[in-house]
Amino acid sequence: MILPGRELISCQLGSHRATHEFQDSPATPVLVHNCGTSPNDRAGTDFTDNGRQTVYDANEAKNGGILKCDYCGRTVERRASRDANGNAIKGLPDDAQIDHEIPKAQGGCGAAHNGCVACRACNRDKSAKTVEQWDDELRDFLPEE
């Protein structure tokens, strides 16, 4: 079963394309990540500012000029994380963030093709899990069909 709004996640950016999609078999959605066809020289790294901008631009283009969470589909906003004095500002659930779809801790790369726009709520909940692992975890809380 696939969660509402999360049927398909597709990040197709940059010179080497990666697709991440659920194969809609009843019990076991499978995350497909086709990074392996090219040098993965940014494995385990953070995104660059340019890479982050690339992900934001592609998301806006895909959503008619509106930034949306790639996971839950809510509209998100880019906000400063620090005030003028450099103090951290408490985040909001709909803050736009860039998530490593394949987690950095699991070798996901810091190239734009592994970046997804995520609301803060999704990003915190997904944490260092793959989408597949996260889906499995969420499924545990859903009633049987």
Nearer to Zn ion, 43 or 72 (CB): 72
Q: How far is the CB of 70 from Zn ion (least distance, A)?
A: 8
- Quick check: 100 and 115 in contact, CB under 8 A? yes
| Number of neighbouring beta carbons within 10 Å of residue 61 | 9
User: Considering beta carbons, is residue 13 or 121 the nearer one to Zn ion?
Assistant: 121
**What value, to the nearest 5°, has the Cα angle with vertex 122 and ends 132 and 104?**
60
Task: Tell me the closest approach of the beta carbon of residue 101 to Zn ion, in angstroms.
Answer: 13
By beta-carbon proximity to Zn ion, the closer residue of 112 and 119 is 119
What does the binding site for Zn ion look like in residue numbers (CB under 5 A)? Answer: 69, 71-72, 119, 122
Nearest 10 degrees: CA dihedral of 106, 41, 68, 32?
A: -60
Q: How far is the CB of 94 from Zn ion (least distance, A)?
A: 8
> To the nearest whole angstrom, how small is the minimum distance from the Cβ of residue 89 to Zn ion?
19
Reference 6, options 66, 64, 73, 54; nearest CA is: 73
| Residue 102 vs 117, nearer CB to Zn ion | 117
Contact call for residues 68 and 58 (beta carbons, < 8 A) = no
